[in-house]
Structure 1
C-alpha cells in the first residue's frame, strides 16, 4: 500500500488521493498529530523477528512491511495527551518522536517522496546557492554574516539595491517548549532595504546574523515544480501589483495572474539535476526571469506547496505525484 504521512488538514493530500483512487491504488493516511493520543503503534524487535505497525487516520492497522511507497508531505508534531504533566511533556514528546522515527526507519525499503534526511539536507538556503551555482544556475550575489564591516563592504561593492531575506523559517514564533509547534506572531518576507534601514541592520548583526542579497530585476517569477523527471512550470506575474513586487507571498496569490510557462530545456534540466542531486523525488524551485530573458535561481523548497498552481493553471502535479507513488506498487 501507499502511505501518506501528513496532517489531515493539508488539502493537497486529497488531490493526490483522488488521483490514487483513479489509478486503483491502495493507500492510507498517517495523521501524525494523532500519535500518541489517538493513533496506536507497536514495534516488536528481537533475534530473527521485527514486527512494526501503526494505526492510520481511519483506525486501520498497517504493517511497515506492507508499505510500498511513502509520500512524506507536511506532518504536524505529535500531540500529547492532556493528562501529561508539565514536567513530563518534554520527555513524552521526545519518546513519541523516537517512536515515529523508528517507524519511518522501518519503511526504508519503500519508495519515498522524498526521504526525510534528504528533505532536511536540501533545506539550507546557503548550501542551495552553492549547489545551484555548481550546476550552472545564475544565482544572486549573496552574503550571510554577523560581521557589520563585511556586510557594509558587500553592499558598497555591489553598488545596486539590496534585499534582506530570512535564511530559515520566515515565521516569528512563540513556543511553550520543544513539543509545541508555536504560535505565529509575525512573518518576515524578502524586503528591499533603503540606505537608512541598511545601516540599522548592520548595527544589529551581533544580535542576529543577516542574509543580504542583490535585488534582481524581474519580468516574471517562475515556480518550477519537479516530480521525478517531470518539470511543471508556472508564471507568477508578481510585478503587476506593488504589494507583490519584491516578494509574491505578501499579497493575495489568487489575485496574481498565473500562466503555464515554457521553461527552456536547459533550465528544466538544471531543475531536475538539482532535485536529483539532493536525492529528492519532488521539489518546488523559485526562479526569476529577468527582462533580458535570462533566468536566476532563488531557492529550492524540498516540500513546497503547489496546490494553488493547479487551481490557477492546467498543470497536473497531483496526478504526477500519484503516478510516481503508484509506480512502486507490488
Structure 2
C-alpha cells in the first residue's frame, strides 16, 4: 500500500492507494516461476545435448570424430550464418550492412575457442571441462581490472578464491580416466587445464572486445553478428583445409548411421545453441542461471558415468567440488555491488560468448 498527497481547499490531504490485488500478484509470481522453469529446462537441455553429442561422436568412434574437428567447426559457423541470414533478411536489416574489419578479431578468437572445444571433446570428459571452464569468471574479472580499471568487492574476491578451490578439487578428484594404460589420468587433467585456461582467456577477451565494438559501431546488432559469422566461416574453412591438407571431409573410422547422426546432432545443436542460449540466459533471473549451470554439471556427470564409464566416474570428491563451485557462485551473485552498471557476460561451454553484463558473470 502506498500513499500520496494532494491539496483540497488549500490543505494537504494524504491519500492511501488501494492495495494490489493479491490474486493478480499470485498470478504474476506463478508466471515468473513457470518462465524460469521453462528457461532453465531449455538451458540445461541445450547444453547437455550439444556436449553429449560432441563427446559421443568421438568416443563411439575410437576417440576421433568421423570427420576432422576443424571441419565440424566450419560447418557449425556456416549453419549459424545461414540461420541469421534467413531469419533477418525479411527485415531488410542486412541491406544496409556496413562492412568493417574490426569484427575479424573477435571472430578469430571465437573460431579458436570453438576449435578448442571440439578438440577437448576428443580427450576430456564434459564434466571435467564444465568445471575447468568456470575459470572464465576469473579471466573476465582480470580483464576488466586491467583494461577498464574496474575492481571488485572483497566478498567477490573471496568467492573467486573459493571457486579456484572447487575447480582444483574437481581436477584432482580422479573422476576422469584415460582411454588406455599409456594415457594416465594426470596427463588428461593437465592437458584439460591448459586448454581451459586458453579457452577462458580468449572467450573472455573476445566478449569484452565485442561489447566495445557493439557500442562503437551503430546499427542493428544482427548486422554485426552476420559480419562475425562471415569472418568466422572464412577463417575456420581455411584452417580446416590447412590442417587436413586439403581433405576436410576425409573419413576417420567406420561409417555408420549412428555416427553420422551424432555428427549431424553436434553441428545442429552447437549452431542453434550458440544462437539461442545467450537469449535464454538473458531472460533468466541471475540466481536461476547459477542453479541451472550447476544442475547442468551434475546431470552431465551422471550421464557421462552411465554413457561413458571408461572416461568418467562420478565420485565424492567431484561432488564436493560441485558444491564448492555452487557456494562460490551464489556468494559471487549475492555480493553484487548496489551501483553495478549494466554489464553482463554470458558464456557457453563451446566458447561462444555474448557480452551483456560483466557484473553478472555467474
Q: Name the TM-score, length of structure 1 as normaliser.
A: 0.20
**Structure that is richer in helix per residue:** 2
Which structure has the bigger radius of gyration? Answer: 2
**Structure that is richer in strand per residue:** 1
Query: Relative contact order (alpha carbons < 8 A, sep ≥ 6): 1 or 2 greater?
Result: 2
Q: Name the TM-score, length of structure 2 as normaliser.
A: 0.19
